[in-house]
Structure 1
């Protein structure tokens, strides 16, 4: 027995105690990974070993407990695979599991060491520092309105307005023929109900006394005096009331909503639903769009519903709302809004309408949220959201080959291999949990037991040195 073996045992036990003490000291360090000392025996062409040596200090990259922190910039890697990518002020790249981040004075997202968190721009493939947005988000003009409505199947057809048909007796070749004429629309009918169109044939007719030649193909007399009967007789006819937002009898239901132009200015769009006479067994609804109180006959659509209450068609398809925002001091781009009614119905019951329009006014930055896929989403005071970037995660073929550099960070080495880059949730990488951190994976109970074992090992090695000393002392005192 020699002093060398015991001394090597003391050194190994001492380093083991250092590792255990470091684990215990970092039990509250976010993202810390437990270290473990591994040992190897020492031989030098001898049947008797020369002691022990510390072969390596390995780290256990298991996932620590993920706990909520409430800090908007905190994030935890929720899984074993993946490391945050950060860069130092000198440009060196490091890797860490510590997800405690904040915004610095330059609006970069950094950790306590000032290292910048790296990721990808939306749609990009090159690593860039992640930043917090500043200023207002640009407004977005409304381009689509998605409606899902139920129109009351029991609603009455909008009351028709009364028109008159002039009773006209035309004489040709001594024969009198009675027709009915609508002056407003220049329509001819063969009966007083105004339902059957029968345009008089072209030719010369005589009316009145004395007779006046009239060619139906080229002119219609302003005053028609029939050859027999009363001067002008009237029969009932009907025509729908023309739409007028000021006349509540001209529509069935009105629903307002707000849209936006390219400058973020608000505009009021009122959708007026008017039930018309059914056509071909289908219910017909006329929709008029009034923008800022202005009626444009072109901003209109016709919706038809089948006997089951399902939307059958819309004309035009899709309906469009077009208008040019006013204002000489701040003119905005013309607005063209595509309107959709997919899934709309006509059932017996009350009116209901859900709608979504995709425009918004400008808004100020309010907060940041982090998706499970690593997307950094900026939230604005106007309710809009904008993806500012996506985190990058790195994995290595040999995590044990990474070089710890302090500050909860590791550096790439030849033994670790090159980083395998990706986004959270892709390529087998872990996902991200926002407003949370990954606690140390130190098992305190296990470390205390390991400390007792290391202490006993140290004491036992010290005892071997003591025993060797006693043997040498005995040899020296022999005579």
Structure 2
């Protein structure tokens, strides 16, 4: 028996030396986890198992366990090299079906070695050709965690994306004078207050320059209403950002004046305070609410007409209000506040654009005047009419036709034909009503679509036939394109809309919920989809551009102009520039236009019993019943650890410790060999003595 004890000691010491030697050999193996030989003593069952006097029967290997300590993470030059800063393991597949990893002929294998490259099909593999397993991503970069996939470095260029959404937020210097009396022209800096530009992309991927121009126009008074009746000191107030600019004279409160009969300020396209508000969610943009504000009387008696108040908003903005209606038990108090206004225009590549590219510029009837020569000669004018849209009013020579429905050009001409001066009504026109009096002119019957107007008085002092088309209502409901300057209509490029500001704050940003979330947005629509040759929406290459501009954060403080945000979501076709893997294991493709797209996300595996894994060599392990099935998750999720790219985890072997251990084991082996030698000599001597 003693000889067997010695042999067991020699065997276990030899195996322990093998384990230690293997650790030393793999000191430079990336991701290697050192092994530890676990010695165990052994006993045979005796007559009395509870006896404390039993001698042991030697040593044997209980297990070779692997230490779970982490190795040092060092940098690498390979962008596909990865280290895990936690207990997770890379998941590897030996075979694939297309891009789908399979478990045949072997199960998935697992490794801490993060040295990766690509094969001839751009699939990420380790140096043994095993495929790195992860989750795929769809075209938008959303991870599809319901299916496993091989991670691939896709070299396909990024397709062009037309610009759909743009954000332009800037400060409009409110110290400039209004440009109400100037006709906007993108080539005349004196006709607008400020401008900015950004690059946008059409559906073909071509870049275009979108320029936006801000023209300060007249300031107007807007009505603000208390939310509660009977008091002026309410904390909530409502206002309509798109309220009509009223045509009234009130000398007590800085009257609005010089407003045309259709409530449009002279020299402006719009008859509203602002036109840009869009309700977020399910609300309506017709009424906004200011919450959690404080109203304090500054002069006069509270809740009295004419009293001036300071309204302090939740964000600290101070607004000056003047009370116009006193609150009663059934009437809510009302106030007026001064609103600074800017009209917004846009061009693409220098060509004018509007919210609707199908809109054509409205034209008045074509009037060709033949001037009188002397006092005995009358004056004649050949008028070619056009169709009227519902809501348009046409006045010629004092006789007015108002279209309550669409009227054809021939019907309009027939209505004005065969009249004499002094006529107060025209011929009956379906969809139209008449008013006014034809003064100083007689008309003839329609000839070839033309009505001839002849002056009643023969004079050399020519008074041309006047024509007014009000308002210029366009197809699609676009705004007027003519403005009234000193009583005369002038043509102007169609505006995208008009923005309003109170104390420098965009009125569309004042309504916020209890969490500070805006309830309204400032939006402009751009439509350039008609191609070359169109009046509006023309692009140089015929590409289509349709986008929405948001300017929620635009301000109008009395300070220098500056840009806060200038972004858009379009791009041209771009080539792959590089790949990288972020800390969450996402495979991100970087393109030469600066865009990035997620192409997949690797999977990390964790085992409850790491010592139960079966080593395969080549830095890989397989799951076993002892290790249990792997728990799969994303890097950075839970305790599995994050990914550090361009780095690897070195072996956790401590060479000094292993060398000391090797010397100790060598002494153990020598000692056991001496014991075995003595036992062997004793057996030989006994055998010789028996033979004597």
Q: Would the TM-score normalized by the shorter structure come out above 0.5?
A: yes
1:189-208 matched pairs, under 5 angstroms: none
Partner of 2:67: 60
* Pair 1:152-2:173 in alignment: yes
* Pair 1:320-2:548 in alignment: no
Rounded Cα–Cα distance in structure 1 between residues aligned with 2:164 and 2:73: 42
Rounded Cα–Cα distance in structure 1 between residues aligned with 2:194 and 2:38: 80
User: Which residue among 183, 196, 221 is the counterpart of 1:255?
Assistant: 196
Partner of 2:498: 302
Rounded Cα–Cα distance in structure 2 between residues aligned with 1:367 and 1:436: 17
Ranges in structure 1 where 5+ consecutive residues have no aligned partner: 161-239
Partner of 1:387: 598
Rounded Cα–Cα distance in structure 2 between residues aligned with 1:454 and 1:297: 87
Q: Is the strand fraction higher in 1 or 2?
A: 1
TM-superposed CA distance for 1:444, in Å, is: 1.5
TM-superposed CA distance for 1:120, in Å, is: 0.4
Q: How many residues align?
A: 396
SS at match of 1:313: helix
**Higher RCO (Cα < 8 Å, 6 or more apart):** 1
Rounded Cα–Cα distance in structure 2 between residues aligned with 1:15 and 1:62: 23
Rounded Cα–Cα distance in structure 2 between residues aligned with 1:245 and 1:423: 53
Partner of 2:82: 75
CA shift digits 1:105-138 (9 cap, x unpaired): 1110001000010100123121110000122111
TM-superposed CA distance for 1:473, in Å, is: 5.0
SS at match of 2:77: coil
TM-score of the pair, normalised by structure 2: 0.55
Question: After alignment, is 10-19 or 60-69 more displaced?
Answer: 60-69
Partner of 1:187: none
Rounded Cα–Cα distance in structure 1 between residues aligned with 2:687 and 2:120: 74
TM-superposed CA distance for 1:242, in Å, is: 2.3
* Pair 1:2-2:9 in alignment: no
User: Which residue among 245, 257, 260 is the counterpart of 2:186?
Assistant: 245
Partner of 2:113: 98
Partner of 1:288: 345
8 Å CA contact 2:522–2:552 kept in 1: the answer is no
8 Å CA contact 2:86–2:639 kept in 1: the answer is no
TM-score of the pair, normalised by structure 1: 0.78
8 Å CA contact 1:301–1:316 kept in 2: the answer is no
Partner of 1:338: 548
1:139-288 matched pairs, under 5 angstroms: 139-158=160-179, 160=180, 240-280=181-221, 281-288=338-345
Ranges in structure 2 where 5+ consecutive residues have no aligned partner: 47-53, 96-103, 138-142, 222-337, 356-494, 510-519, 533-538
TM-superposed CA distance for 1:267, in Å, is: 1.3
Rounded Cα–Cα distance in structure 1 between residues aligned with 2:658 and 2:627: 27
Rounded Cα–Cα distance in structure 2 between residues aligned with 1:325 and 1:68: 55
8 Å CA contact 1:256–1:269 kept in 2: the answer is yes
Rounded Cα–Cα distance in structure 1 between residues aligned with 2:604 and 2:151: 13
RMSD: 2.2
Partner of 1:24: 24
Rounded Cα–Cα distance in structure 1 between residues aligned with 2:36 and 2:530: 70
8 Å CA contact 1:118–1:128 kept in 2: the answer is yes
SS at match of 1:102: strand
TM-superposed CA distance for 1:11, in Å, is: 0.9
TM-superposed CA distance for 1:330, in Å, is: 8.1
CA shift digits 1:174-216 (9 cap, x unpaired): xxxxxxxxxxxxxxxxxxxxxxxxxxxxxxxxxxxxxxxxxxx
TM-superposed CA distance for 1:317, in Å, is: 4.0
TM-superposed CA distance for 1:431, in Å, is: 1.0
TM-superposed CA distance for 1:468, in Å, is: 1.8
